[in-house]
Structure 1
Amino acid sequence: MSKNTAATTRVRRHPWRTTAVIIGVLALVGGGSAAAYAMQLGQTWDQKTVKLANAFPAADVRPEAPAPTAAPAAQNILVLGSDTRGDGNTSIDGLEGQRSDTIMVVHIPGDRQHITVMSIMRDSWVDIPGYGEAKINAALSYGGVPLAVQTIEGMIGARIDHVAVVDFAGFRGVADALGGVNVYNSIPFDSSKMPGHRFERGMQAMNGEEALAFVRERYAFDDGDFQRARNQQEFAKGVMSQVMNAAILTNPGRLGGLVSAIAPYLVVDSGFDAAYVGQLAVELRDVTPTDVSFFTAPTSGTGTSSDGQSIVNVDWDAFVAVKSAFQSDSAEQFAALIPPK
């Protein structure tokens, strides 16, 4: 098989906007008021998450690391959604040959006052190092997590500090563990994933099965993946709003249950451990769901590649501002990228 040919072994696609799990876990681990309970949550996290033995590319192909400072440094967390987390091996070799249907970069600024999340359309046509032009979701298939990191670092011009690969099945469990998730639906549609079920316009209370159908839907929309991306972001907002609620954060039983529900479906780099999550959660203790902003990497419509694939064209002229925002950790530049409500 040539490097420019997609892997023939494919799995069913279950795309997810998985940022809610990452941000939710930060709230969960940081929310325990008692030190002993926080330690217990941390142990659950470390025991149940699978750690990546190799998550990053070689240092000589990465953006330069920022100089150490006494103040907290900005953090970029890459979130990849996968239909499976592999066979449980720490090498995660089982993910090669698959494509990441969810790609998000969570930017946590140095001042820890807000969070910005950039979604990247899975069919974005980009340069994958060593392979040439292809859909960005092929990077995971071609070279595993390190190549996915290298590809996205090349786009944003800044380092990815941590990586999380999330199995979609975990989100259905989290939605049910929360007793349902309230999600805003902007466009009413009949579900192709739950025949006979209609999602009306407005706030919807969704159980796990309904949430899964909601975020997977694309056939019901004129713009397909673009509306699906917006719906998935709305789902992430709904999960964050409920996870960061005081009724959850002050209830040890519900906290423990949620961490236990989330952790088994996460594969993270070795540094993404309980100590890191706990420290970051403390630093983000004043951040609320209204301080989390979402935007989609700029595109210039869809098209067809020279080999006949349906693709999404990245607006590289507009992407200059995205790159500058990541490199400078500029809240003002990121704010200019957020679509008006």
Structure 2
Amino acid sequence: MTYEVDHVRPRPARRGRRAAWIVVTAVAVVVLGLVVASVRYLNTLSNTYESNAQVFVESFPEEQVRPVKAEHDESINILLLGSDDNGGSGTTEDLPRVPQGGRSDSMMLIHVPSDRESMQVMSIPRDLWVEVPGHGSHKINAALSLGGIPLTVSTIESLFQVRVDHVAAVDMLGFIGVVDALGGVTVNSGYDHSFTTEQGFTFHPGWQEMTSEEALSFVRHRASFPDGDLQRVRNQQAFLRAVLYETLTPSNLRNPAKVQEMVETFSPHLTVDETLDAGAAAALRWNLRDTSESVDMLTVPTGGSGYSEDGQWIFYPDEQAMDDITEALAESTLDEYANSL
């Protein structure tokens, strides 16, 4: 069983020429918030977002098959997908395609509890073996190729019995622009050994400054790790923590030129559901205004690995943990669950 929980931890960002990606999915929420970071520039930034961001024509399954929120439940749940036109973790892998033509290589569920005092970013291993509604058992990322965004949403909703309020997907080029505007990041690698990627970059435990090419290699690599994709998820989360902190610093949020640059470079590579317009983004940013120091990150636990009947290497779900997560989401206490691990 594998669990990963951590908090956003402050660390100064450093210079960098380009960006890395994959955790781009969760950064989408932050960038959407930047659209309304300054009231003075609201109209300009909102117009930039509205004119550039693409919209999923079909975002959600039929209403009658979706979970219904309890009357007291005011939480917000956002499904975030990462895509990579260059193949994510390798061009030979058979990954489903997202609508923009990239490949789905990262899936996260962001949960904002009803009290708005924290935010949880839950990574979902792409090789998790689950029931895809109407299609039997598959890896969870197969839902995208079998039925697009609506079936992906339906799979997540049936897995955790939770309502998905918004969907966002972003490709690598968009994230390049965001990190470029930030000036790079310094990432804390939590892996307890040094490792060298296929591109020839060597990473050591602890904090280290990364160029965009190094960071991209860092979040893609998995060949060196005994648990493969699970350690790659941890690396993605470490990178995300660095980007989240730097993006949410007051100096960045109060810098109109930097905010405008982030929105201009990111929004053309962002695809959202019809309800996530500039107004919804503004409300989201307002709801998250006090959560920058209360971001919990966790990975959906696994119950071991093996091979499916058709020969695919998979992660089995931890059924007890899945029940606990379902209950925590229903009670809007995923923060307590994350911190109890």
TM-score w.r.t. structure 2 length? 0.85
1:1-341 to structure 2, matched below 5 A, reads 16-34=22-40, 37-67=41-71, 73-84=74-85, 95=99, 100-187=104-191, 188-195=193-200, 197-288=201-292, 290-331=293-334, 334-338=335-339
Q: Quote how far apart the aligned CAs of 1:65 are.
A: 3.8
Matched residue SS, 2:279: helix
- Using the alignment, how far apart are the partners of 1:311 and 1:104 within structure 2? 18
Which structure's relative contact order is higher, taking Cα pairs within 8 Å and 6+ residues apart? Answer: 2
Moved more, 279-288 or 182-191: 182-191
Matched residue SS, 2:218: helix
Matched residue SS, 1:31: coil
Deviation string, structure 1 residues 226-275 (Cα, Å, up to 9, x no partner): 11100101111111110111111111111100111221111100111111
- Using the alignment, how far apart are the partners of 2:120 and 2:196 within structure 1? 30
Matched residue SS, 2:35: helix
Q: Sequence identity of aligned pairs in percent?
A: 41
Q: Quote how far apart the aligned CAs of 1:176 are.
A: 1.8
Q: Is the 8 A contact 2:49 2:264 kept in 1?
A: yes
Q: Which amino acid aligns with 1:255?
A: V
- Using the alignment, how far apart are the partners of 1:211 and 1:96 within structure 2? 23
Q: Quote how far apart the aligned CAs of 1:137 are.
A: 0.5
Residues 338 and 119 of structure 1, relative CA distance in 2, 3 Å threshold:
farther
Q: Is the 8 A contact 1:233 1:294 kept in 2?
A: yes
- Using the alignment, how far apart are the partners of 1:175 and 1:96 within structure 2? 21
Q: Which amino acid aligns with 1:46?
A: E
Q: Is the 8 A contact 1:24 1:240 kept in 2?
A: yes
Unpaired runs of at least 5, structure 1:
1-13, 86-92
Deviation string, structure 1 residues 57-94 (Cα, Å, up to 9, x no partner): 00121112444x7xx82110000112249xxxxxxx96
Matched residue SS, 2:330: helix
Q: Quote how far apart the aligned CAs of 1:30 are.
A: 3.5
Residues 240 and 97 of structure 1, relative CA distance in 2, 3 Å threshold:
closer
Q: Is the 8 A contact 1:97 1:140 kept in 2?
A: no
Deviation string, structure 1 residues 123-159 (Cα, Å, up to 9, x no partner): 0000111111010000001100000000000011011
Matched residue SS, 2:305: strand
- Using the alignment, how far apart are the partners of 1:245 and 1:304 within structure 2? 44
Deviation string, structure 1 residues 274-319 (Cα, Å, up to 9, x no partner): 111111211221222x200011111111111011110011111221
Q: Quote how far apart the aligned CAs of 1:18 are.
A: 2.8
Residues 265 and 100 of structure 1, relative CA distance in 2, 3 Å threshold:
same
Q: Which amino acid aligns with 1:25?
A: V
Residues 29 and 44 of structure 1, relative CA distance in 2, 3 Å threshold:
same
Q: Which amino acid aligns with 1:249?
A: L
Q: Quote how far apart the aligned CAs of 1:181 are.
A: 0.9
Q: Is the 8 A contact 2:25 2:107 kept in 1?
A: no
Q: Quote how far apart the aligned CAs of 1:192 are.
A: 2.3
Q: Is the 8 A contact 1:96 1:141 kept in 2?
A: no
Matched residue SS, 1:212: helix
Q: Quote how far apart the aligned CAs of 1:45 are.
A: 1.1
Q: Which amino acid aligns with 1:191?
A: T
Residues 80 and 20 of structure 1, relative CA distance in 2, 3 Å threshold:
closer
Q: Is the 8 A contact 1:174 1:208 kept in 2?
A: no
- Using the alignment, how far apart are the partners of 2:234 and 2:291 within structure 1? 22
- Using the alignment, how far apart are the partners of 1:94 and 1:153 within structure 2? 19
Q: Quote how far apart the aligned CAs of 1:113 are.
A: 0.7
Q: Quote how far apart the aligned CAs of 1:170 are.
A: 2.0
Q: Which amino acid aligns with 1:330?
A: T
- Using the alignment, how far apart are the partners of 1:296 and 1:52 within structure 2? 27
* CA RMSD of superposed structures (Å): 2.2
